[in-house]
Structure 1
Amino acid sequence: MTIDGPRGAGLVAAALCCLAAPAGAHEITSASNQAVMASFDIIETRIVTDHGHAVFSTRVRADAGKATPTATGKFEGSEVYAYVWPTSLNSSDVGFESDQGIVALAVTFHPDFDDAAKGAKNRDRWHPHWVVLNEDKACPGGLKVKDIPEGTRPRLPETWPGAPILIDSPEYRTELKADLVEVHIPLDRIGALATASFDGVTAGLRVNANLHTPLLCVTDVHKVASGNLSLPGKVVPAK
C-alpha cells in the first residue's frame, strides 16, 4: 500500500519523521507534528472490541472535527475531509465482492453533497463509510475509492448510497469531541475483525471535476499514524 504523486509523496515523507509505536504494539502512537493542523495530527489510533462492538478511535492533537471543507455549491470538484482506518480486512468482510482492494473505515465531512443510504441527508455532519481503496497514479495522493465500471452489477451492501464507487453508508454511532474521533460498530457487521490489523490516516479527497473515473481521489495525506502505512495495529479486547 503506497501513496504516490508529488504531494502525497512529500506528505508521507514528512510523516516518516514521526515516532511510531514499535512493531507488535496493539495501538499505534506517534509524536505530534506542529507542521500538521491540530485537527489532523494523529497522536494515537486503536481498534478494540467491547461488549459486542468494535470501537475504532483516533486521538489527534486537538479540535477533532473542527476543520471542514469550504462549501462550493456543487458536487463536481468538491472536497471531502476524512479520518481513516485502513485495515487488512477483505472487501467481502464488509459486504462487497472479495479481493477488491484496501478496506478502510472513514469518518467524513463533505458539505456539497449527501451520500447517506436510501436518500437520507448527511452533508451537515461527520459520518462513517466503508470504502474500498485502489492505487491510481491519476490521483495526487496515489489512491482512489474504487470505481464501479459502467454496465457492471457487483455485490454491494444494502446501505450502498448509489454512487458508482465501492462505498457503504451504514449508520454507526460516531462521535467527535475534544481530541477524539470514535466509531462504534456491532461486531456482527464485520467479518474477520478479530485477526485484522490496521493503521490510521487523516486525509483530504476530491470529486473529479469532470465526473469521470477516477471519481473520488485521495488528494492530500495529512498524517499516517505508522509513518509508512504498514498496518501495525492489532485489534484487541478493551481492558
Structure 2
Amino acid sequence: MSRTWLSGTAVAATLSLCLATAALSQPITAQPSDTVLASFDIVETKVVTRKDAVVFSTRVRGKAGVDMPTATGKFEGSEVYAYVWPTSLNSAEIGFEKDQGIVALAVTFHPDFDDAAYGGKNRHKWHPHWVVLNEDKACGAGLKVTDIPKGSTPKVPPTWPNVPLLIDSPEYPTGFKGNVVNVEIPLKLLGGIKGASYDGVTSGLKVNGNLHAPLLCVSNVFKVASGNLSLPGKVAPAK
C-alpha cells in the first residue's frame, strides 16, 4: 500500500495542541493525492447536526471501505484499518473518566478479533468505536489507544467491550455508499458536540505482538484531512 507518513512526534504533539487552537471551518476539504490509496485518500470530512442526530462523514477519492487488512489468524500482531474523526470532546462525554486523552470516533475493520459489546461478533464488518488516544513513543505514529492498567477499575460506558483499553463499542448506524462513509449518532448522547472541533484521518493500527502495553498502537497515518491535525472543523447544523 502506498502511504503518506507523518512523524510520530508531529502527529501526537500537533493533535494535543490543536484542542485549544482550532478555527472555524466546515467542512474540511483536501486535495486528492496519488500517493495515498484511493479508498483512504480523504477529499472531504465533516461533522454536522441534523434534527436529532449528529452525522460524522468522510468522502474519499476511491470507493470507501473496499480495502481491509489481511487476516493473520491470530490476535497478536494483527492489523486494524480505520476512518477516524479526532474531536475536542472530553472523555467524560463518552462514558469514561474526564480528561483521559483525545476522544475520537473511528470506523474500523479488523478480521482477526472481535471487540463488540456484550461478547458480540464484529470482525467481519466495518463498525464504529469511540477511542481515547494518548501519546506513546513506542507506537509507529506516536499515538496509542489508551491502556487500562492491570488491576484498576476505571469508569467505563455500558458498551465497553471488556478489553484493557479506553474503547467503546456502541452500535451506531454506520454506512458506506460509493466514496462516502458516515456514522449517525443520536444528538442526545453527545451533549457537548455542538461547536466542538474535529478533523478527519485515515490510519492503520496494530496489536502489540507481545500483548503488552501499549496494546493497540496507531502504527501509521494514511492521510489527515487538514494536513496537520489542527482540528479546524467546527460542528454545526447541516446547510
Do both share a fold (TM > 0.5)? yes
Query: Could you tell me whether the CA contact under 8 Å between 2:108 and 2:127 is conserved in 1?
Result: yes
Matches for 1:63-142 after TM superposition, within 5 Å: 63-142=63-142
Q: Which residue of 1 aligns with 2:34?
A: 34
CA distance in 1, matches of 2:182, 2:108: 12
Asked if the contact 1:41–1:61 (Cα under 8 Å) also holds between the matched residues in 2, the reply is: yes
Q: Distance in 1 between matches of 2:36 and 2:23?
A: 24
CA shift, 1:191, in A, is 2.6
Residue 26 of structure 1: how far off its partner (Å) = 1.6
SS of the residue 2:80 aligns to: strand
Are the aligned partners of 2:79 and 2:206 in contact in 1 as well (CA < 8 Å)? yes
2:95·2:155 contact (CA, 8 Å) conserved in 1?
yes
CA deviation after TM superposition for structure 1 residue 195, in Å:
2.1
Shift of 1:62: 1.1
- Tell me which residue corresponds to 1:9: 7
1:198 equivalent in structure 2:
198
Q: Which residue is equivalent to 1:16?
A: none
| Runs of 5+ consecutive residues of structure 2 not aligned to the other structure | 12-21
For 1:51 and 1:191, locate their aligned partners in 2 and report how far apart those are by CA, in whole Å.
Answer: 14
1:183-203, CA deviations, whole angstroms, 9 ceiling, x for partnerless residues? 000011113000200000000
Deviation, 1:236, is 0.7
Classify the secondary structure of the residue corresponding to 2:194. Answer: helix
Displacement over 2 Å in runs of 4+: none
Which string of whole-angstrom CA distances, capped at 9 and with x for unpartnered residues, describes residues 195-214 of structure 1? 20000000000000000000
SS at match of 1:151: coil
Query: 1 CA distance for matches of 2:195 and 2:152?
Result: 32
2:177 corresponds in structure 1 to 177
Letter in 2 for 1:166: L
Aligned residue number for residue 19 of structure 1:
none
CA deviation string 1:33-77 (max 9, x = no partner): 110000000000000111200000000001100000000010000
1:204-232 CA-partner distances (Å, limit 9, x unpaired): 00000000000000011000000111100
Q: Which moved more, 1:190-199 or 1:142-151?
A: 190-199
**Match for residue 231 of structure 1?**
231
Aligned 8 A contact 1:205 1:216 in 2: yes
The whole-number CA distance in structure 1 between the counterparts of 2:44 and 2:179 is 10
Please report how far the alpha carbon of residue 176 of structure 1 lies from its aligned counterpart in structure 2 after TM superposition.
Answer: 1.1
Deviations 1:97-132 (A, max 9, x none): 000000000000000000000011000000000000
In structure 1, give the amino acid aligned to 2:177.
K
Distance in 2, matches of 1:221 and 1:107, equals 15
Query: How much has 1:177 moved relative to structure 2?
Result: 1.8
Q: CA RMSD in A?
A: 1.4
- 2:18 is aligned to none
Q: Determine the C-alpha separation between the residues in 1 that align with 2:112 and 2:69.
A: 9
Corresponding residue of 1:146? 146
The residue that corresponds to 1:164 in the other structure is: 164
How does the TM-score come out when normalised to structure 2?
Answer: 0.91
Structure 1 residue matching 2:43: 3-state secondary structure: strand
